[in-house]
């Protein structure tokens, strides 16, 4: 199974203007690969996810899964959204078995399958809880289980940990690694955090904004589990920041309405902030 | 505790004013009369009659209102055809249906039930329809990527997503229906609380009139507080709207 974008162009109508959002995007996710999309807010990362999910259509170019064009949404390509998007009227069990229910799987079968994935994300005790009773991190676990239970060709994760505190985020990153290694599924993971991308991915596509173009592809071959202090990771991070150097300024200028110049090395906000593109 | 301040002040003011105006009975007298009335078989029969009509009328409102609302929400052409009719119905106060009800059904119980139905069904249709149209887009996308389509999508995603709006509609419909019931009974003289109001007013018994009105208010408050407010709260918590 292979997911591929070939020379994709996508524009949106905004205030009677056609604004190009993605320009000549080509990327691949091989079977079992963990790929990150990294770029500043508004560069079109979610649009890429929506194109692969079949929720949007490319204006030109191709979106292919196993060589077949994507024609619409379906359970072979599930999305984990930033705010989990659980169905509030269903329990954890109800949410996780939802896709199987839509597929007409019998009650006992889908119950067994859902329970296995609820266990996988360590929520057995909460199988009968409702989303409003769960923390943000737990909701994302449910969303991950809800996607994986469909045994999709690819799990699309759109800034899944973006709204979580640093500690929860670190725990979930680690667990996601374990789940990915256990299940062997392909993952496309969207983030605007350089450290998160280099910590997780086999390959990082760095996207620039307005319109979104692929600026750089970093193949990361550091063995897992990855040590955050590994020298090679710092090198990757520096190259990614350098490739986005002008980009960071561009975003700052757009958001603050004035020209700001700084080198990647002396950015304000300390070490952690220096790798977060969400300015 | 703070919730008691309002009623206490109200009873205090009522007591003061009644001691100044001779024709204005005190709350204690009105309350006593109400307690006595509740032991009276004639009064009990009137109360039972009102309750029966309200239950039947409201049941019709729920079934027809939700069914029509779901159909209008699901089929755009039906909404274009009948949506404005539902809005128009909802804009007509319950009491305004009584003359038509009497023309069609005479001075009967059916006329009262018809009044409740027309006075309250519009809001349920409108709210259900709105709820179905306002499913959060993120849930639509999540459902679509998990393969939800067609009738299953409608039944397992759209309808539950619309429940908070439906409950709002049902709560309002109860209040509208209760008003329509009183208007219907007043004008048709079918035995009930509304008709009792008419009788005691003709006899000039202000204290009895107030006793019946107090009961009407208490029932209204009790049903709303004990059933609808709780239901609405439970739904809002579950749906994460608080
Ligand atoms: N449905 C849409 N209609 C119009 N503009 C859109 C739509 N979706 C996204 N955009 C625009 O496309 C750009 C990229 O959006 P998005 O893919 O969400 O970026 P990212 O996920 O990287 O933050 C943004 O400027 C956004 O305003
Ligand atoms: Mg996004």
Q: Report d(CA A188, CA A186) in Å as an integer.
A: 7
Q: Residue A220's pLDDT is what?
A: 92
- Å between B232 CA and nearest CA of chain A: 14
Q: Is the pLDDT of residue A279 over 50?
A: no
Nearest CA in chain A to B143: A99
Q: Is the pLDDT of residue A257 over 60?
A: no
Q: Residue A267's pLDDT is what?
A: 42
Task: Supply the residue whose CA is at minimum distance from atom 10 of ligand 1.
Answer: A12
Question: Would you call B142 and A81 a contact, using CB atoms and an 8 Å cutoff?
Answer: yes
Question: Would you call A85 and B141 a contact, using CB atoms and an 8 Å cutoff?
Answer: yes
Q: Residue A249's pLDDT is what?
A: 64
Considering the domain boundaries, does residue B11 fall inside one?
no
Question: Taking a C-beta distance cutoff of 8 angstroms, is the pair A192, A41 a contact?
Answer: yes
- Smallest Cα–Cα separation from A38: which of A187, A188, A191, A162? A191
Inform me whether the C-beta atom of residue B149 falls under 8 Å from chain A C-beta atoms. yes
Q: Report d(CA B136, CA B162) in Å as an integer.
A: 10
Residues 119-148 of A with CB under 8 A from B: 130-132, 146-147
Q: Residue A277's pLDDT is what?
A: 53
Residues of B within 8 A of A99 (CB-CB) are 146-147
Burial of residue A208, with CB atoms counted within 10 A of its CB: 0-12 exposed, 13-18 middle, 19 or more buried: buried
Q: What is the DSSP string of A174-193?
A: HHHHHHHHHH--EEEEEESB
Q: Which of ligand 1's atoms lies nearest the C-alpha of A50?
A: 17
Nearest by CB to A131, which of B142, B163, B240?
B240
The two most distant CA atoms of chain A are separated, in Å, by 61
Q: Residue A244's pLDDT is what?
A: 80
Q: Which of ligand 1's atoms lies nearest the C-alpha of A40?
A: 22
User: By percentage, how much of chain A surpasses pLDDT 90?
Assistant: 70
Q: Residue A266's pLDDT is what?
A: 42
Residues of B within 8 A of A55 (CB-CB) are 141, 144-145
Q: Is the pLDDT of residue A265 over 60?
A: no
Torsion of CA A119, A124, A126, A130, to 10 degrees: 50
Q: What is the tens place of the pLDDT at every residue in B85-97?
A: 888 888 899 999 9
Inform me whether the C-beta atom of residue B154 falls under 8 Å from chain A C-beta atoms. no
Inform me whether the C-beta atom of residue B52 falls under 8 Å from chain A C-beta atoms. no
A76-108 burial, b if ≥16 CB within 10 A, otherwise e?
A: bbbbbbbebbbbbbbbbbbbbbbbbbbeebeee
Its CATH class, for the domain covering A1-76+185-279, is: alpha beta
Q: Is the pLDDT of residue A268 over 60?
A: no
| Mean pLDDT of all residues belonging to chain A | 87
Q: What is the tens place of the pLDDT at every residue in A192-212?
A: 888 899 999 999 999 988 788
Q: Is the pLDDT of residue B35 over 90?
A: yes
Q: Report d(CA B176, CA A38) in Å as an integer.
A: 55
Q: Is the pLDDT of residue A276 over 90?
A: no
Positive or negative CA dihedral for B110, B111, B113, B117? positive
Find where tokens 């990757």 sit: A236
Q: Residue A262's pLDDT is what?
A: 46
Question: Would you call A54 and B145 a contact, using CB atoms and an 8 Å cutoff?
Answer: yes
Domain that holds residue B185: 27-238
- Smallest Cα–Cα separation from A63: which of A11, A100, A27? A27
Task: Supply the residue whose CA is at minimum distance from atom 6 of ligand 1.
Answer: A12
Measure A204 CA to ligand 1 centroid, in angstroms: 21
Q: What is the tens place of the pLDDT at every residue in B196-232?
A: 999 999 998 899 999 999 999 999 999 999 999 999 9
Number of compact structural domains in chain B: 1
Task: Name the residue with higher pLDDT: B53 or B7.
Answer: B53
Nearest CA in chain B to A104: B152
Protein residues within 5 Å, CB atom, of ion ligand 2:
A 46
Q: Is the pLDDT of residue A258 over 80?
A: no
Between A76-85, A132-141, A197-206, A210-219, the lowest mean confidence (pLDDT) is in: A210-219
Q: What is the pTM (predicted TM-score) of this model? A: 0.87
Q: What is the tens place of the pLDDT at every residue in B64-87?
A: 999 999 999 999 888 888 888 888
Q: What is the tens place of the pLDDT at every residue in A124-133?
A: 999 999 999 9
Find where tokens 């007013």 sit: B201
- Å between B64 CA and nearest CA of chain A: 24
Q: What is the tens place of the pLDDT at every residue in A11-69?
A: 999 889 999 999 999 999 999 999 999 998 889 999 999 999 999 999 999 999 999 99
Considering the domain boundaries, does residue B92 fall inside one?
yes
Question: Taking a C-beta distance cutoff of 8 angstroms, is the pair B240, B138 a contact?
Answer: no
Residues of B within 8 A of A86 (CB-CB) are 142
Ligand nearest the Cα atom of residue A19:
1
Measure A78 CA to ligand 2 centroid, in angstroms: 16
Q: Residue A278's pLDDT is what?
A: 47
Report which secondary-structure segment, H or E, holds A245.
helix A245-256
- The predicted model gives B167-194 an average pLDDT of 94
Considering the domain boundaries, does residue B158 fall inside one?
yes
Which CATH number do you get for residue B145? 1.10.3720.10
B182-213 burial, b if ≥16 CB within 10 A, otherwise e?
A: bbbbbbbebbbbbbbbeebeeeeeebbbbbbb
Inform me whether the C-beta atom of residue A235 falls under 8 Å from chain B C-beta atoms. no
Inform me whether the C-beta atom of residue B233 falls under 8 Å from chain A C-beta atoms. no
- Name every protein residue with a CB atom under 6 angstroms from any ligand 1 atom: A 12, 14, 21, 39, 41-47
Q: What is the tens place of the pLDDT at every residue in A139-179?
A: 999 999 999 999 999 999 999 998 899 999 999 999 999 99
Question: Would you call A81 and B138 a contact, using CB atoms and an 8 Å cutoff?
Answer: yes
- Å between B158 CA and nearest CA of chain A: 11
Question: Taking a C-beta distance cutoff of 8 angstroms, is the pair A10, A49 a contact?
Answer: no
Question: Would you call B240 and A88 a contact, using CB atoms and an 8 Å cutoff?
Answer: yes
Question: Taking a C-beta distance cutoff of 8 angstroms, is the pair A189, A33 a contact?
Answer: no
Residues of A within 8 A of B233 (CB-CB) are none
- Å between B132 CA and nearest CA of chain A: 15
pLDDT bracket for residue B23 (50, 70, 90): confident
- The predicted model gives B227-238 an average pLDDT of 95
Find where tokens 């929520």 sit: A123
- Å between A95 CA and nearest CA of chain B: 10
Q: Which of ligand 1's atoms lies nearest the C-alpha of A49?
A: 17
- The predicted model gives B134-153 an average pLDDT of 95
Q: Residue A149's pLDDT is what?
A: 96
């Amino acid at each position: 199974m292979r997911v591929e974008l070939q020379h994709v162009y996508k524009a949106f109508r905004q205030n009677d203007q056609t604004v190009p959002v993605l320009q000549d995007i080509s990327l691949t996710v091989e079977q079992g690969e963990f790929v990150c999309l990294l770029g500043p807010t508004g560069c079109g990362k979610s649009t890429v996810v929506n194109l692969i999910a079949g929720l949007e259509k490319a204006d030109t170019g191709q979106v292919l899964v196993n060589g077949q064009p994507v024609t619409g949404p379906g359970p072979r390509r599930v999305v984990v959204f930033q705010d989990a998007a659980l169905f509030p009227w269903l329990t954890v069990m109800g949410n996780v078995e939802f896709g199987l229910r839509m597929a007409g799987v019998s009650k006992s079968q889908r119950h067994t399958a859902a329970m296995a994935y609820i266990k996988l994300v360590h929520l057995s005790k909460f199988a009968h809880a409702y989303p409003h009773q769960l923390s943000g991190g737990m909701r994302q676990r449910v969303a991950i289980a809800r996607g994986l239970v469909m045994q999709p060709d690819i799990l699309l994760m759109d800034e899944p940990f973006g709204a979580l505190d640093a500690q929860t985020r670190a725990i979930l990153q680690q667990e996601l690694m374990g789940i990915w290694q256990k299940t062997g599924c392909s993952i496309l993971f969207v983030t605007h955090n350089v450290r998160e991308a280099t910590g997780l991915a086999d390959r990082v596509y760095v996207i620039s904004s307005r319109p979104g173009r692929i600026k750089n592809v970093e193949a990361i071959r550091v063995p897992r589990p990855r040590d955050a202090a590994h020298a090679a990771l710092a090198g990757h991070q520096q190259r990614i920041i350098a490739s986005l150097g002008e980009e960071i300024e561009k975003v700052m200028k757009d958001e603050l309405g004035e020209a700001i110049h700084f080198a990647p090395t002396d950015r304000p906000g300390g070490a952690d902030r220096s790798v977060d593109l969400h300015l | 505790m703070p919730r008691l301040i309002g009623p206490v002040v109200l009873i205090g003011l009522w007591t003061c004013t009644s001691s100044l105006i001779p024709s204005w009975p005190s709350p204690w007298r009105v309350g006593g009369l109400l307690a006595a009335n509740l032991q009276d078989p004639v009064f009990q029969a009137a109360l039972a009659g009102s309750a029966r009509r309200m239950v039947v009328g409201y049941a019709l409102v729920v079934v027809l209102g939700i069914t029509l609302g779901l159909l209008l929400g699901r089929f755009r052409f039906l909404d274009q055809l009948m949506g404005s009719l539902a809005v128009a119905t909802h804009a007509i106060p319950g009491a305004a249906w009584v003359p038509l009800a009497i023309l069609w059904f005479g001075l009967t119980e059916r006329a009262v039930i018809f009044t409740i139905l027309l006075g309250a069904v519009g809001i349920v249709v409108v709210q259900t329809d709105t709820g179905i149209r306002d499913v959060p887009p993120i849930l639509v996308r999540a459902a679509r990527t998990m393969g939800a389509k067609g009738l299953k999508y409608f039944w397992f995603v759209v309808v539950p997503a619309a429940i908070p709006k439906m409950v709002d509609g049902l709560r309002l419909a109860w209040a509208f229906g209760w008003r329509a019931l009183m208007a219907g009974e007043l004008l048709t003289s079918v035995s009930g609380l509304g008709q009792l109001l008419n009788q005691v007013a003709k006899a000039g018994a202000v204290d009895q009139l107030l006793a019946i009105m107090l009961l009407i208010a208490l029932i209204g408050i009790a049903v709303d507080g004990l059933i609808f407010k709780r239901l609405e709260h439970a739904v809002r918590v579950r749906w994460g709207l608080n």
